Chain A
Amino acid sequence: MSYHEAPTIAAPDAPRLDQDDRPTLRFVTCGSVDDGKSTLVGRLLYDSKTLLDDQLDALASESKTAGTTGGDLDFALLVDGLQAEREQGITIDVAYRFFATKLRRFIVADTPGHAQYTRNMATGASNADLAVVLVDARKGVITQTRRHSHILSLLGIRHVVLAVNKMDLIGFDGDRFASITAEYLTLAGQLGISRVQCIPVVAPDGDNIVAASTRMPWYAGPTVTAYLESVDVAGDVSQRPFRLPVQWVNRPHADFRGFCGRIASGTIATGETVTVQPSGLRTRVVRILTPAGERDRAKAGESVTLTLADEIDVSRGDVLAAGPTPLVSDQFAAHLVWFDDEAMVAGRRYVLKCGTASTGAVITTLKHRIAIDTMAQESATTLEVNQIGYVHLNLDRPLVFEAYRDDRDMGSFILVDPISHRSAAAGMIGSSLRGSANIHWQRLAVDKSVRAQLKQQRPCVLWFTGLSGAGKSTLADHVDRRLAELGRHAALLDGDNLRHGINRDLGFSSAERTENVRRVAEIAALFVEAGMIALVALISPFRSERELARLRVEAGEFIEIHVATPLAECERRDPKGLYRKARAGELPAFTGIDQPYEAPQAPEITIDTSELSSEAACEHIIRYLREHNYL
């Protein structure tokens, strides 16, 4: 067949800027290794004339040296971008490709078929409207097909094109195609994938990709391109209630305070009432600034800046909402796709990111694991890489969200390992766990801002970190006394003293040291909630733990003070004789000697007490607090 006379597809030449409003369809390709995904995508690029002369020349020469097609154009080389991929003839990572026809623009995520790379498939699917699932006509629906379709359904994909490839290798057998179609439709039905179009193709030759194949006259349906150009995937989030996760507070000068973010769902107009979640405070929208200028209204998908009628407390992680109140809870149930090589550990703390909010989260229960092949729920104690499960999570603070099936932006999250910083899992929220879905965070009559106003201060945590003997406690004590003189309300939490009380059950193993820091961070956060300035003097050697402490309070409420006195000086002072003991081997895992101290990368304040007196250092801190409006 001839692919040079591609009838429906053309370079994006005809429509121009003023009338060019071809919608964009984002789709993902998936299937087993060697099913021909990259070839199919390469073919779409080739037939849409997206490829330019120098790229075609490069393809022709690479096909000869690195191709797997005996010197013919190897379309897979167009998308297998990494050297290792070309060497091994497989796809390792998601590739994003762009092409356009006269009717639509397309962004395609080409994802790997290898079992160990399932996480990349989920990645590609997370932003897709539709999936093209490839199967090898000789093999039909196999385990990988089930696994991928299951992930697609979990990620909310409702439209699938099943491309049955390599039809030439089964003699264009229509009956075989029909039986594969029937088997897949059964699977799709179980998974709630509502619209499936099955198309028999030969990707390298272009049969039924752009032009209808002359070799399969028994197939009367659309080609892949024709279907992608016409399918209606619209699920209009503009019709849903207004939700704006606040990304950034824009405060360039005293007369302007704007709240920036991309509208997740719904529409908003000036004059309309919104509530700030989770606080529940109400106010009105005054101005709407969009990238195209100031407007009266804006809708889902737009990145805007809103100004509000009242001076109320709104910060990153809050959600501006109208209409039915969103779900607010510190516990929910969710599906997890586990990504990390390190298996899930129930009871361990991860960093959870949802929308613009970040918080510590613990997986309290693994309700069940899902057997990919049968979709059966089975009991399990952990999730390994690429496994899927249903879990309960406990968060450090309440989060504003929606069920994933209703709202992808408001119902999705990732878990990050606080030590390795790897993305450990992707999550889709099922439901809130606080009784019924109607339990919302109740706004307390007296909140933090009221207390803070009473005390004429902005509550915050002053976190003094540094080596043993660096002078943390001395300095914190100095600042505490100075604040008292100024009539401010502070509380000093000293690591050593706390170990005599609330932390007296803890030793010095790394797990116990982590718990020690966690408890202190919790207590500090409670003081902040009460409108106080909490001073914490704690070695806290690990950056990840300090980051978790930072996440425990709101943005701008955590001031990390690195007491950066050099080790030699600390050891010379050795006020408690600890360095001497550590050097003698009597104190294992002593920070600075045989356990590393991870210095802050960008602390708000750095102090070296070997060069600065305690009084001078104290005054610097007070000045910082004044200049940044804490006092």
Chain B
Amino acid sequence: MTGQIVSIMEPSPARNAPNEAPAARNAPSHLRRLEAESIHILRETAAEFRKPVMLYSIGKDSSVLLHLAMKAFHPGKPPFPLLHVDTTWKFREMIAFRDQRARELGLDLIVHTNRDGLSQGIDPFTHGSARYTDVMKTQALRQALDLHSFDAAIGGARRDEEKSRAKERVFSHRSAAHRWDPKNQRPELWSLYNTMLAPGESMRVFPLSNWTELDIWDYILLEDIPIVPLYLAACRPVVERDGALIMVDDERMPLRAGEEPRWRSVRFRTLGCYPLSGATISTAATLPEIVSEMMASRTSERQGRMIDRDSPASMERKKAEGYF
């Protein structure tokens, strides 16, 4: 393609697939308000950037984000592709779900893996979660954004997740080196977003900023949004390791002395790489059961994430380096 005329603005092919929203139910107005705000943010992103992309992590927040994107541009398709950064250590069910959703919705899905990391044999067991996350997630994401020269990456992070996220803007600026400068963020007033970028810079966009974990589940229930079955309780083979229940999803997981996978009824509150996702003992096998279990829960969803435990300010540091 070098040297040739490259038209960046190919018109998206007209598709005529009717995708009527489900019949209106009596939704709580606060969910509708959140929905309206997120749709506004998604449309701003489409209108203001040259080449946006939606990061699709296959989790519940991504499922909601994708559902909102389908609504925002209905009856058309979202005018941006989906990007999944595949560490090759995701649960098998996640990958199957990802491919099925992209096919059903007729969306353009880009899957990117850090080939360098792969050939160096970086894995979560031998290299530790910090190094592994940096190479296979943070660096991989930066590679993918650079490779396709995306200038805006839409993600499903919420402000209620974690303290440094609570301070991040809806439109969060990244330097040409993908760095976040938390002390020098652009003020964000009303619904007016400063979307201007210098060459090489980019924006991370968080349409779910004002949603809580409970809002996400309520909305999934209300709108009947498909989610990966791993969120629902089922008998799965797990080992107890460092105080967490880790599912033995494939034969690559080295078992330590004395570790014997046991079949237990578990589910996951957050999904990621299976070696780093702690399961919780649960019998909640339906969405309403999950929601009521969540209401009674006394721990936060991030408790199951191994990577946040590395150091107290670990999320802020990872974000500064370009982690989503």
Inter-subunit contact A97/B166 (CB<8 Å): yes
List the 8 closest pairs (A to B, CB-CB), nearest first: A252-B76, A81-B163, A611-B3, A253-B14, A602-B50, A126-B189, A620-B5, A303-B39
Closest to B36 in A: A303
Closest to B217 in A: A17
CB distance from A429 to the nearest CB of B (A): 12
Inter-subunit contact B300/A55 (CB<8 Å): yes
A92–B316 CA distance with the chains assembled, in angstroms: 14
- Judge whether B96 is part of the interface by a CB distance below 8 angstroms: no
How many residue pairs bridge A and B at CB < 8 Å? 240
Inter-subunit contact A17/B222 (CB<8 Å): yes
Which one of A22, A316, A601 has the greatest number of beta carbons of chain B within 10 Å?
Answer: A601
- Contact among A123, A291, A301 with B187 in the assembled complex (CB-CB below 8 Å): A123
**CB-CB under 8 A for A21 and B30, given A122-B187, A292-B24:** yes
CB distance from A477 to the nearest CB of B (A): 18
**CB-CB under 8 A for A602 and B151, given A83-B313, A291-B71, A612-B3:** yes
- Judge whether A594 is part of the interface by a CB distance below 8 angstroms: no
A602–B53 CA distance with the chains assembled, in angstroms: 14
Inter-subunit contact A612/B163 (CB<8 Å): no
- Judge whether A311 is part of the interface by a CB distance below 8 angstroms: no
- For B71, what are the chain A residues with a Cβ–Cβ distance below 8 Å? 291
13 contacts between A and B (CB under 8 A): A21-B29, A82-B182, A86-B313, A96-B167, A122-B189, A126-B190, A256-B76, A291-B39, A409-B191, A426-B187, A611-B2, A611-B4, A612-B4
Inter-subunit contact A624/B5 (CB<8 Å): yes
Inter-subunit contact A353/B312 (CB<8 Å): no
A298–B157 CA distance with the chains assembled, in angstroms: 29
- Contact among A82, A254, A260 with B183 in the assembled complex (CB-CB below 8 Å): A82
A611–B15 CA distance with the chains assembled, in angstroms: 36
- Judge whether B257 is part of the interface by a CB distance below 8 angstroms: no
- Contact among B4, B162, B300 with A52 in the assembled complex (CB-CB below 8 Å): B300
A617–B4 CA distance with the chains assembled, in angstroms: 9
**CB-CB under 8 A for A248 and B5, given A303-B36, A426-B187:** no
- For A162, what are the chain B residues with a Cβ–Cβ distance below 8 Å? none
- For A18, what are the chain B residues with a Cβ–Cβ distance below 8 Å? 26
Inter-subunit contact B7/A252 (CB<8 Å): no
**CB-CB under 8 A for A291 and B21, given A20-B28, A82-B164, A421-B194:** yes
- Judge whether B77 is part of the interface by a CB distance below 8 angstroms: yes
Mostly, the A contact residues are: mixed
- Judge whether A347 is part of the interface by a CB distance below 8 angstroms: no
A247–B159 CA distance with the chains assembled, in angstroms: 25
Q: Interface on A for B, CB 8 Å cutoff?
A: 11-13, 17-18, 20-24, 52-55, 62, 78-84, 86, 92-98, 105, 107, 119-120, 122-123, 126-127, 247-248, 250-256, 258, 260-262, 289-295, 301-303, 305, 316, 339, 351, 353-354, 356, 408-409, 412-414, 416, 418, 421-423, 426, 543, 547, 555, 598-599, 601-608, 610-612, 617, 620-621, 624, 627-628
**Size bracket of the B interface:** 35 or more
Inter-subunit contact B15/A253 (CB<8 Å): yes
Closest to B164 in A: A81
- For B163, what are the chain A residues with a Cβ–Cβ distance below 8 Å? 78-82, 95
A9–B15 CA distance with the chains assembled, in angstroms: 51
CB distance from B261 to the nearest CB of A (A): 26
A554–B51 CA distance with the chains assembled, in angstroms: 19
Inter-subunit contact A119/B187 (CB<8 Å): yes
CB distance from B222 to the nearest CB of A (A): 7
A247–B2 CA distance with the chains assembled, in angstroms: 34
- Apart from A81-B165, A123-B189, A291-B68, list 12 A-B contacts with CB within 8 A: A22-B30, A81-B167, A84-B182, A260-B72, A292-B24, A292-B27, A413-B192, A421-B196, A601-B200, A602-B50, A603-B8, A606-B6
Interface set, chain B 303-318, CB cutoff 8 A to A? 303, 312-313, 316-317
A547–B23 CA distance with the chains assembled, in angstroms: 43
- For B68, what are the chain A residues with a Cβ–Cβ distance below 8 Å? 291
Closest to B27 in A: A292
- Judge whether B286 is part of the interface by a CB distance below 8 angstroms: no
CB distance from A296 to the nearest CB of B (A): 11
- For A621, what are the chain B residues with a Cβ–Cβ distance below 8 Å? 5
- Judge whether B258 is part of the interface by a CB distance below 8 angstroms: no
Closest to A424 in B: B194
- For B317, what are the chain A residues with a Cβ–Cβ distance below 8 Å? 83
- Judge whether B198 is part of the interface by a CB distance below 8 angstroms: yes
- For A606, what are the chain B residues with a Cβ–Cβ distance below 8 Å? 5-6
CB distance from A539 to the nearest CB of B (A): 16
